[in-house]
Amino acid sequence: MNTQEHQKEGKHSQPGPAHRVRLPGFLVEGETGLGDVIKHATYAIGIKPCSGCQKRAAALNKWMAFTR
């Protein structure tokens, strides 16, 4: 398939709103993105963030968020 056929089928459409996952009693804050969760976990084990990490965190936060 070429890109024109993919576009006709809607496979390259604009991303929708972030997926929301409810975790009542688990989160202290109102909402935390998946990128922030990974960022905090990697920092806790000693990996220092870089500019690529910030871009990844921002993209993952747009994709999935955990709510209270």
Phi then psi for 36, rounded to 5 degrees?
-65, -40
> CA 23, CA 45: separation in Å to the nearest integer?
24
Phi then psi for 14, rounded to 5 degrees?
-65, 140
What mean pLDDT is reported for the chain?
A: 76
DSSP 18: P
Helix (H) or strand (E) holding 59: helix 51-63
Question: Given pLDDT bands bounded at 50, 70 and 90, which one contains residue 60?
Answer: very high
Q: What is the pLDDT of residues 26-56, one digit of tens each?
A: 656 678 888 988 988 898 899 988 889 889 9
Provide the token pair at 12.
């390259």
